[in-house]
Amino acid sequence: MLRKLIGISMAALVTLLLTVSTSYAGKVLLKVPVWFPTTLPALGTSPAWVAKHINAIGGDLTMKTYEPKKLVPPKEMLEAVSKGQVNAGYTTPGYNMGKLGDKGAIFSAVPFGPDAPEFLAWVYYGNGRTLWQKTYDDAGFNVQSIPCGIIAPETSGWFSKEIKKPSDLKGLRMRFFGLGARVMEKLGVATSQLPGGEIVPALQKGAIDATEFSMPAIDKRLGINKILKYNYFPGWHQPATLFDLIVNKDTWNNEMSEGQRTIVELACRAVMADALAMGEAMQFDTMKENAAAGTINKYWSKKMLATFKEQWDIVVAEMIAKDPAFKVVWDDLQEFRANYAIWNEWAYLPRPGTKRSKK
């Protein structure tokens, strides 16, 4: 009986050791090149926030961020992470449309699309995250995507003159992001997706005439308000913008334990709240300061918003015809939005300022 008990105990110990050895992956350092400088509020501070809090937990998982171009150039980040040249990176799919296709940009921002609560509902409790990861997988990238940051609406452009009618846009050279750029191109705008640090120099040299980048406080940090006078709202092209932490799949699946992966997931979920709150909290003071310094805030007329929406519908139809995979993602989002509309219609008070009858 004693030998039998010892045998059972030894078997249990071996099983325990095997379990521990397969679940404990050792120390992991996530080296994370970032797309935006970590001094840039909401955009750049989010990965730094994640790293700070992961490192504060202590233990066998740490994270270090690297400023743009310090480890790999931002435009090479996705390939570098996929190949294991670096084991992680912080980006947004909209900057990788050339690699992921137009459907990838849906997971960044959707013109006339969901605002932050609805977007997060689709990502976390609809099919959004599954389709997000599938987009990377189908494009052949060996990365695990973790949604890891969000901001509320951006402004929809800075101009040197008033834009009263669609023809006023024709011929402009403008920095513009993501799917919204396709709309502006329909209206005769020549678009480019310049990095934030190149926008002001391009404006100063006359290489571009107008730009959008982000929220007023972020745009001011770049100095855009010192060059262009008219700032247009609302951000029809980016009602909310999502970001992700991408991790090399071999690192994620084979080198990281379940506990380490959970820490990353929770830190990224937490930064969603931090980034959203930060973005919302810093805009009003900046808008007051900008106005005092000469910025003129403009709200698009009903005619202009209808024009943007009309062109967006045309762009969507073209992208669906071009890429059946775009249609899969788009249809799923639209089905979710159709259901969400019931809640949205009944649950919320009208947001002041967004429905101006005089417009």
- Per the DSSP assignment, residues forming a β-bridge with 151 are 241
Is there a domain that residue 169 lies in? yes
Tokens of 203: 């404006």
Q: How many domains does the chain have?
A: 2
Calpha distance 154→210 (Å, rounded) = 15
**By C-alpha distance, which of 102, 98, 79 is closest to 89?**
79
Is there a domain that residue 288 lies in? no
Averaged pLDDT for residues 23-40: 89
pLDDT in the model for residue 15? 39
Calpha distance 256→258 (Å, rounded) = 7
Calpha distance 247→87 (Å, rounded) = 6
Q: Are 182 and 269 in contact (CB under 8 A)?
A: no
- Of residues 121 and 352, more confidence is placed in 121
Averaged pLDDT for residues 124-148: 98
Task: Look up the domain containing 223 and give its range.
Answer: 157-236+295-344
Tell me the per-residue pLDDT of 213-225, one tens digit each, with 9 for 90 and over. 999 999 999 999 9
Calpha distance 301→283 (Å, rounded) = 22
DSSP 254: I
Calpha distance 21→235 (Å, rounded) = 50
pLDDT in the model for residue 359? 42
Residue type, 147: P
Instruction: Please check the confidence at residue 5 and state whether its pLDDT lies above 80.
Output: no
186, 318: one domain: yes
Is there a domain that residue 83 lies in? yes
pLDDT band at 351, cuts 50/70/90?
confident
- Per the DSSP assignment, residues forming a β-bridge with 159 are 230
Backbone angles phi, psi at 131, to 5 degrees: -70, -35
Calpha distance 190→194 (Å, rounded) = 12
DSSP 59: S
Q: Are 54 and 263 in contact (CB under 8 A)?
A: yes
Is there a domain that residue 4 lies in? no
List Cα–Cα distances, 237 to 110, 135, 345, in angstroms: 6, 21, 22
246, 146: one domain: yes
192, 244: one domain: no
Averaged pLDDT for residues 13-40: 70
Averaged pLDDT for residues 141-147: 98
pLDDT band at 33, cuts 50/70/90?
very high
Is there a domain that residue 123 lies in? yes
Give this prediction's pTM: 0.90
320, 220: one domain: yes
213, 305: one domain: yes
Instruction: Please check the confidence at residue 19 and state whether its pLDDT lies above 80.
Output: no
Residue type, 317: A
